[in-house]
Amino acid sequence: MRALIFVVAIVLLMAVVGWLRFTSDDGDPSVRVDTDKMKQDTSSLVETTKEAADGAANAIDRAAGNIDASIDREPVETNP
C-alpha cells in the first residue's frame, strides 16, 4: 500500500511540475512525458545547488578565518 501511495505521489508531483501531461485528443487518451523540460529543470536545479554549496563553502572559509586559533598552552596555576 505504501508503494502505491509513493507512486501516486510521484506521478502527481510530475504532473504539477509539468513533466507529465495527460491529454485526450480525439477521444484517444495519452500520457506524455516532457523530457526536455525535465532536463532543463534538473540542469537548473543542479546549477543552483552548486552555487549554494559554493556559497556555503565560502561562508565557512570566512568564518574559519575570523576564528582566533591561538591556544594558550601554558598550564593555569591555581592557589590552594
Residues 43-80: pLDDT tens digits? 999 999 999 999 999 998 888 776 665 555 666 677 76
- Is the pLDDT at 33 greater than 60? The verdict is yes
CA dihedral 42, 43, 44, 46 (to 10 degrees): 80
Averaged pLDDT for residues 17-46: 89
Residue type, 14: M
Q: What pLDDT is stored for residue 72 in this prediction?
A: 55
Q: Which of 31, 27, 47 is nearest to 39 (CA)?
A: 47
Q: Please report which confidence band the pLDDT of residue 29 belongs to, taking 50, 70 and 90 as the band edges.
A: confident
Please state the pTM of the whole predicted model. Answer: 0.56
